[in-house]
Structure 1
Amino acid sequence: MSAEAAVDSQAENGPAAGRARSWTLALASVAMFMLMLDVTVVNVALQDLRTSLGADFSDLQWVIDSYTLTLAAFLLTGGSLADRLGRKRVFNAGLVLFTLSSLAAGLAQDVLALNIARGVQGIGAAVLFSVGPALIGYEFRGADRGKAFGVFGGVAGLALAFGPLVGGFLTDALSWRWIFLINVPIGVAALAVGALRLRESREPAAHGVDWPGILTFGLGLTLLVLGFLRAESSGWTSAPIVGAFAGGLALLVAFVLIERARGERAMFDLSLMRTPTFTGVCLATLLSNATSLAAVFLQISYVQNVLGYSPWQTGLRFMPMMITLFIVAAVTGGLLAKVAPGVLIGLSIGLIAVGMGLMVLVGPGDGWTAMLPSMIVTGIGMGLFNPPRAAVTIGVVRPEKAGMASGMGETFQQVGVAVGVAAFGALFHQKVVDAFVDSAAGTALAGQAEAVGQHVATGGTSGLADAVAPSVLDQVTTTARSVFVDSLADVMVVCAVIAAVGAAIAFVLIRRRDLHESAQSESPAPTPKPATA
């Protein structure tokens, strides 16, 4: 059967357009739920994982880094392949990969096997991250698209809301392994629904897979992100880090030259960067995620390592922020047709900046409730951000190019997370160590001060009794808590300033008139077009 006949047959025998839209939204939302849940459940389980597998601090970093690295590197590839090979086909392949790698991670017997599984899991997640919004964008139009992305964003917010709680419960009640194994039954059910209920769609004028583009972009981005992730431990001027940055930049330059030469056959339409709205939403996404997710990771470290709460207790204390995020995300979809997208996105990032700045209200002697103003305002901003971001990212292109646009937008999002957590984590680490060494307690410890400062930066006040003599324990603990909280506040202010820049970019560059007509009209979703043979 020819490619044209195959697609025609699917369009005729597949689910009706109305039912397909509902199933598409449900399936993309379930996949997003799994992915966003996986972002938060891991962090609260790291200490138990370290004990179970005998992992050191570097190993624990790789539990997060291996996932983030492959996720960032394959996002654009996943979206581009979906446009060419078929979004249903690629989405289901991503589900298979994510589900099987989750099973492997849950059954891992050592930290190396876990990190390899996490790397493969990141590839599957990249496909789902990039193709899910494209599937929604192809099926929905106009105001309906805004409502669909409101539901999509609300589900993502729900996963973020319950992620720390679910991770804490599974870790405390069962085992850290279940934070991965829980994906398996969900993935199997989603795969069955995807095979039976999704309609196939692809770029009608596809020119085949852009292997030169895929290789140069994937390897270049991998080297850049790896440089940021490893620079703190290896040294910013060390030969491996300088080589990673130089090699990554060289490969990305080669990618741009290759894409320009390939023209219509390219995996990324470079002309999109000449559209102010697309450039604006990508830059705003990068700065927002780099700051907000780094802030959440550092706040979780504070609640666990300084305030001394368990994973389950930590999850409970982040519920005000996450429930706020969920509620706001759920109602934001209805605003997309009424409020200019630049205003929505700029306001959301502005609120995130204010929320992070409010961390200066937290003092060394305060309990977790001192974080509530920061949590609530940040939660409002984060909930307001994702629905318009996803809609605008694919709204600047015709529906057939949605996979490529979505992949690029998600790439900026995940690179922001990877670079932000690494860069702001390194800044926080250095500030804590320097402040502790220069303190009276650091002076009293003499040559031991640097090592204890490193311990405080990574573990807060926990375990200090094993690191210092009893005679100075009280002084060291008080100083450790003070430098940890003060350094956290300083880094949050830096994050707030950078996020404010992202808000200004959104206000200035994102414009409704740059959106494709399919993002502005009330027209129904089209019947999938036949692909060329």
Structure 2
Amino acid sequence: MRKWLPLAAVCLGTFMLLVDVTIVVVALPGMAKSLHTSFADVQWVMDVYALALAALLLGAGAVADRLGHRRVYGSGLALFALASLACALATGPQALIAFRAVQGVGGAAMLATTTALIGRIYHGRDRGVAFGVWGAVSGAASAAGPILGGVLTEHLDWRWIFFVNLPISVLAIVMTLRFVPVLPGARSRGVDLPGTAAFTVAAGGVTYAMIKGGDYGWSSAPTLGLFAASGVALAVFVAVERRREHPLVDLALFRRGAFSGLMAVAVLLSVAAFSYLAYVSLWLQSVKGMGPVAAGAACVPMSAAAFVVASLAGRFLQGVAPRWTIGSGMLLIGAGALLQATVGSGSDWTVLVPGMTVTGLGVGLATPVLASTAMACVAPERAGMASGAVNTARQLGNALGIALLGVVFHAGLADALHGPAVPDPAAAADALAGGQAATVLAAAGAAGRQLAQEAFATGLRETFLVSGTLGLLGGLVALLFVRPFTAPAPVAAARPAAREAVAPGTGAAAR
């Protein structure tokens, strides 16, 4: 059992940082009331964390490759704990959002190193089991966030969603120092600071533009300027990486359909499986009148299915080609979202159960194999790069998915609210999307209330349809492009380790 203690230390941090992506979903209305601000303003508590993760993961992975993965992981845990304490003690929305961004910095350092640590500590069949457990934890964590957030918010206070991180962080730090071995980094290689800066600007700019585009206007100067700045930063990033001896990410990997396909699937997985949870929680609480615990419990089928399937997949599907497990998982994720598109104005939370369950099955199948397959494309000393790349893609998908589905959701609301019972459809849509459904329904009269409830259901249906379509697209991408490959070895001595790093199902047996 002792050999699994390093995995437990890594999974503790993984669970905590991924839970914090969605744990605030059901707490946002309470935060807005407590801090005397609007629901739209405190949404940044969720968005800024996802933005920090997406923008900094590649840079954190590069630093970890040089300084050592355990050192960076432990430092990330410590920063995450301190930022969590600051979030819990924040007295205003601006301070909370700022500390939440710092929490995202710590989360990036942790997430960029988790799969790299697993890939370097475990070998052979143990590696498949370890990635299966890691996938189970990471897949279940995002779905479990609303549940834990609901329990803490309803029975204690929203601040406890941050206080609870402190004992977990301390335990994870102690276990990391005691059980996770020190793995040397590639100290001869400098950190790619220009590439890190350019990518951070590109990722952060496009994410911010997507989040605020609806407020500024998609054709407004600020939005177009942000997209243009992101494009320039991306061009600078590509130019820098092409000239670096040891780049932040090896762009040559993207010439291989398998690697590019993996990155595309990682983005689509987060969008299709998790980005709509914020709008589901809003519907359950503000329209259906459910408390935070009950609203969070609607995600139990997804969380439970993801955990069980990922645990079994890592152990029993090692001989199956990754394109089949990832592809099948993405098709299930898409099908689960489409099943939820049956929601109507008279529906209750049970209408979500079949779709949530099917989505959880897909998450459990795809998540662990996605991570281990990405790790197979590089030599072990560049594991941080591969880990950072796949996790960056996932977090970009989450951040961009929240923004994209928010646009779809708001458009569905506005389209359905046209009628004499609602004199100002745009304002009503803003109010519904901003968590003020109770006020709108109370003032609208019988006909207006029915129209508003149908509008919310319409917005959700369109959100689920987009999510489902993207999930099915991800399945097709995986089936067509994710093919077996072995890690490139820049030096001969790296070849045995690189072959050992091949993900379960990517070797000869998979062919």
Instruction: Verify same fold: TM over 0.5.
Output: yes
Give the 5 Å matches for 1:275-314.
275-314=256-295
Matching residue within 99, 115, 120 for 1:117:
99
Paired residues of 1:157 and 1:326 also in contact (CA < 8 A): yes
Task: Name the SS of the counterpart of 1:512 in structure 2.
Answer: coil
The amino acid of 1:444's aligned partner reads A
Equivalent residue, structure 1, for 2:215: 233
1:274-312 CA-partner distances (Å, limit 9, x unpaired): 232221111111112122222222222222222111101
Equivalent residue, structure 2, for 1:527: none
Paired residues of 2:410 and 2:430 also in contact (CA < 8 A): yes
Superposed displacement of residue 458, structure 1? 3.1
Equivalent residue, structure 1, for 2:115: 133
Give the 5 Å matches for 1:217-228.
217-228=199-210
Q: Distance in 1 between matches of 2:40 and 2:75?
A: 31
Give the 5 Å matches for 1:60-459.
60-204=42-186, 206-263=188-245, 265-436=246-417, 438-439=418-419, 443-446=420-423, 448-459=424-435
Equivalent residue, structure 1, for 2:493: none
Paired residues of 1:460 and 1:480 also in contact (CA < 8 A): no
Pick closer, same or farther for the CA change 1:460–1:365 going to 2, 3 Å.
farther
The amino acid of 1:392's aligned partner reads T
Paired residues of 1:433 and 1:450 also in contact (CA < 8 A): yes
Q: Distance in 2 between matches of 1:222 and 1:316?
A: 32
1:142-181 CA-partner distances (Å, limit 9, x unpaired): 3221110111122224434543222111111111101001
Give the 5 Å matches for 1:455-494.
455-459=431-435, 461-465=437-441, 468=443, 472-494=444-466
1:479-511 CA-partner distances (Å, limit 9, x unpaired): 111121123112211221122111111111112
Higher mean alpha-carbon deviation, 421-430 vs 157-166, is at 157-166
Q: Distance in 2 between matches of 1:461 and 1:96?
A: 39
Matching residue within 26, 30, 54 for 1:44:
26
Pick closer, same or farther for the CA change 1:58–1:64 going to 2, 3 Å.
same
1:428-469 CA-partner distances (Å, limit 9, x unpaired): 102211220x23xxx2343x3432232223337422255x3x
Task: Name the SS of the counterpart of 2:158 in structure 1.
Answer: coil
Higher mean alpha-carbon deviation, 113-122 vs 138-147, is at 138-147
Paired residues of 1:44 and 1:311 also in contact (CA < 8 A): yes
Paired residues of 1:433 and 1:457 also in contact (CA < 8 A): no
The amino acid of 2:410's aligned partner reads H
Gaps of 5+ in 1: 1-17, 523-533
> Is 1:25 aligned with 2:1?
no
Aligned residues: 494
Q: Distance in 2 between matches of 1:162 and 1:504?
A: 28
The amino acid of 1:494's aligned partner reads V
Pick closer, same or farther for the CA change 1:307–1:33 going to 2, 3 Å.
same
Q: Distance in 2 between matches of 1:95 and 1:252?
A: 30
Task: Name the SS of the counterpart of 1:513 in structure 2.
Answer: coil
Paired residues of 2:334 and 2:468 also in contact (CA < 8 A): yes
Q: Distance in 1 between matches of 2:221 and 2:410?
A: 22
Paired residues of 1:84 and 1:207 also in contact (CA < 8 A): yes
Paired residues of 1:141 and 1:520 also in contact (CA < 8 A): no
1:239-285 CA-partner distances (Å, limit 9, x unpaired): 1111111111101111111111112x322111221232221111111
The amino acid of 1:450's aligned partner reads A
1:60-85 CA-partner distances (Å, limit 9, x unpaired): 12111211111111000111110011
The amino acid of 1:391's aligned partner reads S
The amino acid of 1:140's aligned partner reads Y
TM-score (norm 1): 0.89
TM-score (norm 2): 0.93
Higher mean alpha-carbon deviation, 391-400 vs 126-135, is at 391-400
> Who wins on radius of gyration, i.e. which is larger?
1
Higher mean alpha-carbon deviation, 252-261 vs 507-516, is at 507-516
Q: Distance in 2 between matches of 1:111 and 1:309?
A: 25
Higher mean alpha-carbon deviation, 122-131 vs 335-344, is at 335-344
The amino acid of 2:485's aligned partner reads R
Paired residues of 2:421 and 2:448 also in contact (CA < 8 A): no
Q: Distance in 2 between matches of 1:496 and 1:460?
A: 27
Paired residues of 1:399 and 1:518 also in contact (CA < 8 A): no
1:67-118 CA-partner distances (Å, limit 9, x unpaired): 1111111000111110011111111111111110001001111111100100
Paired residues of 1:104 and 1:117 also in contact (CA < 8 A): yes
Q: Distance in 2 between matches of 1:356 and 1:325?
A: 15
Pick closer, same or farther for the CA change 1:254–1:309 going to 2, 3 Å.
same
Pick closer, same or farther for the CA change 1:451–1:359 going to 2, 3 Å.
same
% identity of equivalent residues: 37
Superposed displacement of residue 52, structure 1? 0.6
Superposed displacement of residue 521, structure 1? 8.9
Equivalent residue, structure 1, for 2:492: none
1:27-60 CA-partner distances (Å, limit 9, x unpaired): 1100011112212221111111111111213321
